[in-house]
Amino acid sequence: MGRFSASAKKVSGPRTGAAGRKMPAKSVAERIQRGDLFAVSCPSREVMKHITSSWGVLVLIALRDGTLRFSELRRKVAGVSERMLAQTLQWLEGDGLVERHAYPVVPPHVEYTLTPMGEEAAALVAGLGDWIEQNVTKMPSFRD
Amino acid sequence: MGRFSASAKKVSGPRTGAAGRKMPAKSVAERIQRGDLFAVSCPSREVMKHITSSWGVLVLIALRDGTLRFSELRRKVAGVSERMLAQTLQWLEGDGLVERHAYPVVPPHVEYTLTPMGEEAAALVAGLGDWIEQNVTKMPSFRD
DNA sequence: GTCTATAACTGACTATTAGTAAGTACGCAC
DNA sequence: GTGCGTACTTACTAATAGTCAGTTATAGAC
């Protein structure tokens, strides 16, 4: 990680909190090393969609307890259809956050596990979920 | 906050990380004091939808820099339409995360600011956004 | 005078995605 | 034999995201 130049060091501050500032020109290394949620076509937008989708949030949180089968996930994440669960898991697998392990048996037996990177994401997501659960009762919309 | 009984204290642990465990019976006070993202009809699901929507995430992060006008937000959050921006801000205002201040002038002059509660949510959201930006380049989908 | 730009929405409509229902093959229980 | 469970996929419908046009008043350019 010592590959950054001096100007790269400047940009590596709290980038997200500096959304309103003019971004300094990015070197090629910077462009390759980091996404930018505020850029319309940045791939990070797609990943964010997957992670922050309703089902994505709940699946990541549920998997924090350890490996789960498709049907176990289906039951824990109340309200999700098989269709949406399958799609969500495909996305998260494609993002490298979830590992899928299929056994060569019938009926199908498939297990899903968080990758190390998935565990990081899930921890952040769980923190947000926790915050929402703790604060929802204070919200005006809740009192209506 | 000393109102919780002993059994309530037990439940107040890392609730989100315990998604797989059987939840002990909740007292009335507990039910009123905390939402549950894993319950289909809990209001916290709606709040989560607002906060974790693509535009919700970006608006919250953008407002961390301070008060912004509608048009300023429109420009910072690249790709958002006025329609979606207006709707997102309505949601976040209804959730008590954003304050709207309209001046009695023409053309309209409206400013949006994070509430203290909104600042908490935005900090968590920004942390997640930061993580996504930092890690998107490591993802298999990014390499395809 | 007309035209354009600005601001911050809202309503009508279209496009896209979420969600519903049915289907698949096999083993087991009744 | 029927029904259930498993983990998806396909075809279709419902809901939401997104597009477009409209609103009011003012300032500035022509």
ipTM score for this prediction:
0.83
CATH of A46-137, one of 3.40.30.10, 3.40.50.300, 1.10.10.10, 3.30.200.20: 1.10.10.10
Confidence at residue A141, expressed as pLDDT on a 0 to 100 scale: 78
Of B35, B65, B140, the CB nearest to A19: B65
Closest-approach nucleotide to residue B102, Cα vs C1': C8
- Chain D positions with any atom < 7 A from a protein CB: 5-11, 17-22, 24-26
Class of domain B45-143: mainly alpha
Tens digit of each residue's pLDDT (9 = 90 or more) over A92-112: 999 999 999 999 898 999 999
CA distances for A25 relative to A85, B58, B139, angstroms: 41, 21, 24
Of B17, B127, B136, the CB nearest to A47: B136
- For residue B68, say whether its CB is under 7 Å from any atom of strand C: no
The domain segmentation of chain B, as residue ranges, is: 45-143
Do the Cβ atoms of A51 and B13 come closer than 8 Å? Answer: no
Average pLDDT of chain B is 82
Closest-approach nucleotide to residue A88, Cα vs C1': C18
Per-residue pLDDT band for B41 (boundaries 50, 70, 90) equals confident
Residue A57 burial (CB count, 10 A)? 25
- Cis amide prior to B104 (ω within 30 degrees): no
Which tokens is A48 given?
């964010």
Return the residue matching tokens 């935005």: B122
Do the Cβ atoms of A136 and B35 come closer than 8 Å? Answer: yes
Whole-angstrom distance, CA of residue B54 vs CA of residue A49: 6
- Phi, psi dihedrals of residue B97, rounded to the nearest 5°: -95, -25
Round and report the angstrom distance from CA (B6) to C1' (C18): 42
